[in-house]
Amino acid sequence: MAAALLPVIVEAAALEAVLGTDGLLIVDLNEAQAYAQGHVPGAVNLAYASLIGPRPPAMGTIAGAEQLSAALSGIGLTPEHHVVAYDGEGTGKASRFLWTLDVIGHANFSLINGGFHSWSAEGHPVETTPNIPTPSSYAVTLGDSAIANKDYILSHLDDPNMVVLDARTAGEYDGSDVRAARGGHIPGAVNLDWMMTLDRGNNFRLKPEAELKAMLNERGITPDKEIIMHCQTHHRSSQSYVMLKSLGFEKIKGYDGSWSEWGNDPDLPIES
């Protein structure tokens, strides 16, 4: 199957060349109104909220197996599908969907580099007719290889082989922009604002691999270490997760509680 050859980060032109391939499922994470205005041919629309099961104050925690099974069955996903995801907002929502697939053990997936920005701006075909999927029976089992919770992070804070990657802005990281009961960051965490990895002048594609690796290396983010990513709700940091996966990092986890949990828990340590 041609789709099986697609890399984690796929260029729009490469995807266009395999549109219509059996076993390929293209998933649009835009709002329903944006999807109706135009989408990649053959794409089905998935509501971002269907992936989330808030546990206040943690507002971005992963949905339960029953909710995810219903959402993924609703778009006709089967274990054999190679999924290609995108959105029009910098690929954070699409990346969160792909991280969710990693959590449940669905390994075959790709992200359109630049999302709908690159697809639409560079003349690739767009359709407005909705694609109504044939529902499947996708049974979700939540694994733990791609997800970390606060207890896991707390128990590894002094582990030199683990790095916490904070994908929020510099202001959120240093505590000058407070979006929870407390501002600051997880002790020892390094800051790499997710937007710094994207090239706005190139339709929000990831910056060149060499540039990304240099940014990561100077922060001590290397493939030999376990990297745990978070932001406020593990939306922005999901893009960081997919980026690292595309660069060959294997020991990566997303912290879905993120700062909305950590920053609101007075029992957890912080730095600023």
191-210 pLDDT, tens per residue? 999 999 999 999 999 999 99
Instruction: Look at residues 92, 66, 61 and name the one whose alpha carbon lies nearest to residue 198.
Output: 92
CATH 3.40.250.10 fits 2-121, yes or no: yes
Fold type of domain 147-262: Oxidized Rhodanese; domain 1 (3.40.250)
Burial zone of 147 (CB within 10 Å; 0-12 exposed, 13-18 middle, 19+ buried):
buried
For this structure, is 2 an active site residue?
Answer: no
Asked if residue 3 has pLDDT above 70, the reply is no
Q: What is the mean pLDDT of the chain?
A: 97
- The CATH 3.40.250.10 domain(s) of the chain lie at 2-121, 147-262
Please state the pTM of the whole predicted model: 0.97
pLDDT number for residue 5 = 73
Average pLDDT over residues 223-252: 98
Tens-place pLDDT, residues 49-62: 999 999 999 999 99
- Which member of 25, 98, 231, 252 is catalytic? 231
Nearest CA among 86, 85, 76, 82 for reference residue 108: 82
pLDDT (tens digit per residue) in 154-168: 999 999 999 999 999
Digit-coded pLDDT (tens) for 98-128: 999 999 999 999 999 999 999 999 999 999 9
Q: What is the pLDDT of residue 165?
A: 98
